[in-house]
Amino acid sequence: MSTKRKGAYAAKAKRATHMLFFRRHQKPGVKGWELHKALGADYPKVLEVLDDFMKPLDLQVKTVFEEEKIPEKPAPDELDKARFYVTLRGDLEPKEAKMIGWRIDDLAGLAITISYIISKKGQAARRDVEELLGEKLAGWKVSLNLDRYIRYGYLQQDDNEQLYLDWRTRVEVDQKALIDQLLRSDEEQNKDTKDSIDEEQDEESQ
């Protein structure tokens, strides 16, 4: 890439940074068509350059498409309809989560809620989620936590008290990795339970 071309991309990357970091709408992020209008048709390349710049800071440019299924090779019109955000590239450490006001049980409750809604094909009755969380959290915290997840944009609730995943879950949560982690935890728990039963049976047979 020529020096002149690098300079042009650097200038566009700076403009893209301003658009992505400074909130202009009710929700954070910028629509692809807005970037297209401001930066030109090559804005996906500009975002790639910006993403590389952000790697040392553990940040990334995240693309969220209108459809939950991510296209393998998105067409220009699909990118224009998508929304782009700046998010963490890695994960928050427990100490970091605590510094921004999240307790470990709050995060666990959020993970359980998201996983349950995914397992119910994207929607679940609030009362069912409250019943599930009541098994894991103190009773007085259940409703407060759900309201907090809704307020922060992780969940949305309709007039019939059905819960759905909201924009922040789609942006910040690797849903596949979350489900895989929970499945591994269940397998390990089942194995521990089986080992414990086998040990008890061995003791009784002696």
Query: Is the residue at 203 inside a domain?
Result: no
Cα(80)–Cα(75) distance, integer angstroms: 9
**Quick one: 136 and 106 in the same domain?**
yes
- Domain for residue 21, yes or no? yes
Residue 29 in contact with residue 84, Cβ under 8 Å? Answer: yes
Q: What is the dihedral of CA 78, 83, 88, 90, to 10 degrees?
A: -20
CB half-sphere exposure, 116, CA atoms < 13 A: 19
Rounded CA gap, 101 and 133, in Å?
A: 20
pLDDT > 70 fraction of the chain, expressed in percent and rounded:
79
Instruction: Indicate the number of domains in the chain.
Output: 2
Tell me: the pLDDT tens digits for 9-32?
888 999 999 999 886 666 788 999
Does residue 66 sit within a domain? yes
> Which single residue is written with the structure tokens 């067409």?
75
> pTM of the full predicted structure?
0.66
Both 158 and 177 in one domain: the answer is yes
Does residue 84 share a domain with residue 7?
Answer: yes
Residue 180 lies in a domain: yes
Comparing 61 with 139, the larger pLDDT belongs to: 61
Domain end point (choices 73, 90, 107): 90
Q: Give the mean pLDDT of the chain.
A: 83
| Residue 205 domain-assigned (yes or no) | no
Looking at residues 137-147, what average pLDDT do you find?
A: 89
Residue 43 sits in the same domain as residue 85: yes
Q: Summarize pLDDT for 144-203 with one digit per residue, the tens.
A: 999 999 998 899 999 999 999 988 888 888 777 777 776 776 666 555 545 554 555 555
Could you list the residue range(s) of the whole structural domain that residue 146 is in? 95-186
User: Does 199 fall in a domain?
Assistant: no
Burial class (CB in 10 A: 0-12, 13-18, 19+), 197: exposed
